[in-house]
Chain A
Amino acid sequence: MAKKPRKDSSEIRVIEFVLDELEPVSSAETSRSRKVEQRGAGFQDDLESVSSVDAAAAPEPAVEIGNEMGSAVLRQLELPKLPLFEKQDRARLQVQSPNRVYFYWSLKTNPFQALSRTLSAGSAGYTLALRLLDTQTEREEILAVEPEGSYWFNTDAGRTYRAEIGLYSPSRPFVRILFSNTVTTPRKSPSSRAASQSEWRITSHKFAEVLDVTGFEQDAFDVVLAGDDTERVDELTYAALTQLLDEREYARANIAPEDIRLAMVALASGRTLEELRWKIGPALFTILQAHAEHVDSEKAAAALSEVFDIDQSELEEEDYGPAVGTSLVNFPRKYYRGYSPLSSHITR
């Protein structure tokens, strides 16, 4: 559905359209039919299949309404259907996680007709496009899209985004038609800021201890690693990534050092690159993917060991499995079974 004609077109100016001037989109109205799984008969004697009990069939309607009107009402309610989408301007951005947001949109009217009225011959060469904008850095991602659809974006944690639907042409201003709500992706690591009041102030080392006793060993590791000399540790982090990539150069822009450390530790603990999709920022994932042949567990562990002097034995992953029952409650994974903020190599 969505094609990527280009990315990162900087310096794009924005023109706003007044939608009332636009003509209706002729084919934008589509009903969404969704295939829904059917429940089975649910009659199971085989003990191995007992857990399929949830799939048992619902009983047939038993209520009888003795008149025509009543029956018509009942039939209507027994066959619930989703309404056809009205022609509406919709642009909704939703956060799924620090590294993934979902956007859906639809247009009430055909933007090209108004564009051609406004720009006449100059309207040629425009494409209907979706733009995701990081409102803090003005960094953007642009895709060619249909008048109605949805899209998942890879994002960075703790950033503020807005999505826009508009008309795009490489050498001209972006013509904005619709824009979404603004969202801020959640943090996925501790804040670097200690409280200003002395009563609540805490040193990095002490905070690492707090994280450690709370069961967040990975964050404890990161906090103690970053310590108070953030610049030095960031340099080391970038160096570790360079080593992982066999000394290949890469653009540091838009890659958070803590994301690199998270990715390298996860890789060193046996996670695959694919498992990191949607768990790290887009710039880092793109680089790792481009050098996938160089990215493996052994090399990540070696780079961490050499640059940060982390003992290999500290990089064991401990999995607590799912919760009892049907809950999907989150148990944070321990990547540092043997790690202690007070005794690790890293703090020596």
Chain B
Amino acid sequence: MPIGYFSLILHAHLPFVRHPEYPEFLEEDWLYEAITEVYLPLIFIFQHLHEVGASPRIAMNVSPPLCEMLADPLLQERYTKHLENLLELAQKEQLRTRKEAKQFTEAAKMYVENLSMSLHLWNDRYGRNLVNAFRELQDEGVLEIITCCATHGFLPLISTEESRRAQVQVAVTNYKKHFGRQPRGIWLPECAYEPGVEHLLKAAGIEYFIVDTHAILYGDPRPRFGVHAPVSCDNGVAVFARDVETSRQVWSDVVGYPGHPLYREFYRDIGWDAPIEFVGPHLHADGTRRHLGLKYHRITGKGVPLHAKLPYRPKLARAKAAENAGHFIQERIAQAHKLRKTFEGRPPLVVAPYDAELYGHWWFEGPQFLDFFFRQLHFDQDEIAPATPGDFLDSGLPIQVQQPAGSSWGENGYYMVWLNDKNAWMYPYQHDAERKMTEIANRFADQNPRFKAQGSGSTSNLEAGTLDFELQVRITNQLARELLLAQSSDWAFQIHKGTTVEYAARRFRSHIHRFDLLHEMLNKSYAFKLSESGTTEAVTLTPGELTLLKEIESRDTIFPEIDQRVYGS
């Protein structure tokens, strides 16, 4: 019988970045880097842990935009080229370092091995679609995959109930499409909670959600077991909160494991270090230097300038990851003893959520750490057992009823990162679009009562109307996509953080602009025009409008299954 439970929760999310209008696009690298450095290594490790009988249990959010990108044929094709290009570079590097830079040979060899394995997994094992891999791991009992809001919309800053509901409902529908079942849990974007959100979740069949520590600690009444047991909202939806200690140990830049001098340095990259003649063939056509993912240096020490970093030694780093994993387990055992004493014998549950991209992208050895952690957890001790939130709910242990407090896991614990002097300008535009979307959905339903009567099924099951009716459906569904994409919390985050500010602002402007163009199209050129006799007179789109609609549809392809009726009030 374990003395405590440990619940690792990984949040895998990237905003929907797909630019078919360009042959190459810098920001698409976010996905490609994450596939190479995070998703493929984690999938490989989780599968292997399962095969050796280590029985890991992990809750993982694979966000709807990420699922949509992983399943997208264009991005799959582009990633294949990206990976092949990287492997080719690594192979050249292996030869070069043998002759010219032996201190880097071990790392170069590692890259060739890793990338070769990645290419094999990508092409042969998972058919270029990693949703298959995640689904398989869930079916094998390794992962409990949870959903997220449709486009990672920050719920407390969305102005209408209908728009909040759509973020949840569209996500659940998308989850069912990709994973063939109902999700049990949801990762609230940025762990942002506001009292009342639980009602939307309950209506969508969600059993639990994740919040930050103080949501429960500051909840009412006082939580008997702090954050080391879930609480339940009045309506029965369970709430699991982040444990601070495990967050600091892995994530803190000051005291966290990833800062160890032996680990790989993130900011030295061959894309910047190598002569342009050498690296040029592997850059985009414009020749702009960028991170390519082959990095040969270790952190070396705090404050050591980039030019003074020492060579990376994979074997030493791997040994350190094993050591850190052992330390992490010992700390969990000590923590469980301490908590159990405080809780008068009740076994605590430690919930440890992290961005998945920490493991492999920011902390290169992170996947190895998890590999060692779960092996040691299974084979070397029996005091701590892994459990997902769903496992805990299934245990039938009683849960305290509480009203959690409004909160997020962002800086200072509330909504400041997503609403501040730099990004407050976005919200009036977003809120206008939210209001208009529900007006349109309601008007559409009023004017097409048969359509309304069919509930929220797929439009493909509709009794076919006129061409104009089909165009109405297309335009309104595309409006919903543009609104959802504009609501992505990533844009406000990046604008606040100061990274890729222009891209984030442009994306927000683009989706609001496209929403506006489509809204205008619907209002002026086409729809719902009444003739003098009072019957609906179909007015078709101009050729220019039709071209515009097609172009927007071809760019923002997220959620082909979307049904704008979700916005109706």
Contacts and interface: CB of A to CB of B under 8 A. Distances in A.
A321 interface: yes
Interface string B117-159: 0000000000000000000000000000000000000001101
B26 A83 contact: no
B456 interface: no
B369 interface: no
A43 B218 contact: no
B530 interface: no
Contact of B253 (A199, A211, A324): A324
Nearest to B341: A213
Nearest to B419: A96
Interface string B195-236: 100000000000000001110011111111111100000000
A186 B218 contact: yes
A202 B224 contact: yes
Interface in B397-427: 398, 400, 402, 405-417, 419-420, 424-425, 427
Nearest to B433: A83
Contacts of A32: 425
A53 B409 contact: no
A57 B288 contact: yes
Contacts of B412: 97, 330
B252 A331 contact: yes
B411 A330 contact: yes
Contacts of A48: 305-307
Interface in A1-57: 32, 34, 36-39, 41-45, 47-48, 50-51, 53-57
Nearest to B399: A200
A69 B544 contact: yes
B366 to A, nearest CB: 9
A343 interface: no
B419 A102 contact: yes
A86 B217 CA distance: 44
A344 interface: no
Contacts of B414: 95-98, 186
A307 to B, nearest CB: 25
A104 B427 contact: yes
Given A47-B307, A62-B22, A195-B400, A190 B502 contact: no
A80 B506 contact: yes
Given A73-B547, A213-B339, A330 B410 contact: yes
A175 to B, nearest CB: 24
A47 B272 contact: yes
Contacts of B510: 77, 80
Nearest to A278: B416
A210 B226 contact: yes
B227 A214 contact: yes
Given A190-B222, A200-B224, A328-B411, A83 B248 contact: no
Given A39-B502, A54-B500, A213-B339, A81 B219 contact: no
A320 B547 contact: no
A250 interface: no
Interface in A124-147: none
A171 interface: no
B272 A50 contact: yes
A328 B217 contact: no
Contacts, number: 284
Nearest to B398: A199
A44 B432 contact: no
A195 B219 CA distance: 11
B251 A47 contact: no
Interface in B226-275: 226-228, 243-245, 247-248, 251-256, 258-259, 267-269, 272-273
A95 B26 contact: no
A63 B219 contact: no
Nearest to B286: A59
Interface stretch (B104-112, B179-187, B315-323, B512-520): B512-520
Nearest to A79: B513
Interface string A147-175: 00010000000000000000000000000
Given A83-B513, A330-B412, A214 B21 contact: no
Chain A interface category by residue count: 35 or more
A178 B100 CA distance: 73
A186 B405 contact: yes
Contacts of A58: 25-27, 502-503
B217 to A, nearest CB: 6
A322 B547 CA distance: 47
Given A81-B513, A190-B218, A321 B247 contact: no
A213 B226 contact: yes
Contact of B362 (A54, A86, A106, A324): A324
Most buried by B among A72, A85, A325: A325
A324 B244 contact: no
B290 A83 contact: no
Interface in A304-348: 319-332
Interface stretch (B165-173, B353-361, B374-382, B458-466): B353-361
A47 B405 CA distance: 45
A41 to B, nearest CB: 8
A1 to B, nearest CB: 13
Contacts of B225: 210
Given A36-B505, A39-B502, A201-B224, A77 B405 contact: no
B551 A77 contact: yes
Query: Which 10 residue pairs of A and B lie closest in terms of their CB atoms, listed nearest first?
Result: A186-B406, A325-B362, A321-B254, A215-B244, A97-B414, A80-B513, A191-B220, A80-B510, A210-B226, A47-B306
10 contacts: A43-B289, A55-B500, A56-B289, A73-B548, A77-B21, A95-B194, A102-B419, A184-B406, A188-B218, A216-B244
Given A34-B505, A39-B500, A320-B252, 12 more contacts: A42-B289, A47-B307, A77-B552, A80-B506, A94-B156, A95-B156, A97-B415, A190-B222, A320-B254, A321-B253, A324-B253, A332-B214
Interface of A: 32, 34, 36-39, 41-45, 47-48, 50-51, 53-59, 61-63, 69-70, 72-74, 76-77, 80-83, 85-86, 88, 90, 92, 94-98, 100, 102, 104, 106, 150, 181, 184-191, 193-196, 199-202, 206-207, 209-211, 213-216, 219, 319-332
